[in-house]
Amino acid sequence: MSTIKIQNDKGRSFTVKIVRKGETYGLNNRLTHDEDDALVEFYDATRTGFGPEGQFVSRYYASTLLGEDTFSSRIRGQGICLQGDEPAWSIDGAAMEVVEAFTESNRRGDA
């Protein structure tokens, strides 16, 4: 698994993790990802009492996050709200560009 740290425009730090096919994820890593489309997970890195990455916030398929699937209305380089009831859990456009590049690199196996 590959991870990066990003910071939104409000100064909140997040850990972003890529989960590829065959890798474990979820609560206590009890699930195994069995699809070709990688998962992209977001954790609030300021909430350290939840594990090494921080508090789990949200998970997306890479194709959805990158606006590649038929169900996605995401526009590349645009910000994203990770959870509507928590305003601090949003990623601005500049930080999402970093996440998008990281996701693409990991899908190709460059990272």
pLDDT tens track for 69-95? 766 666 777 899 999 899 899 999 999
Give the mean pLDDT of 100-110. 81
Delimit the domains of the chain by residue range. 2-108
Q: What's the pLDDT at 14?
A: 98
Q: What's the pLDDT at 67?
A: 83
Q: What's the pLDDT at 47?
A: 92
Q: Which uninterrupted H or E stretch holds 53?
A: none
Pairing of strands 13-19, 31-32: unpaired
Q: Which uninterrupted H or E stretch holds 104?
A: helix 93-108
pLDDT tens for each residue of 26-73: 988 999 999 999 999 999 999 988 989 999 999 999 998 888 876 666
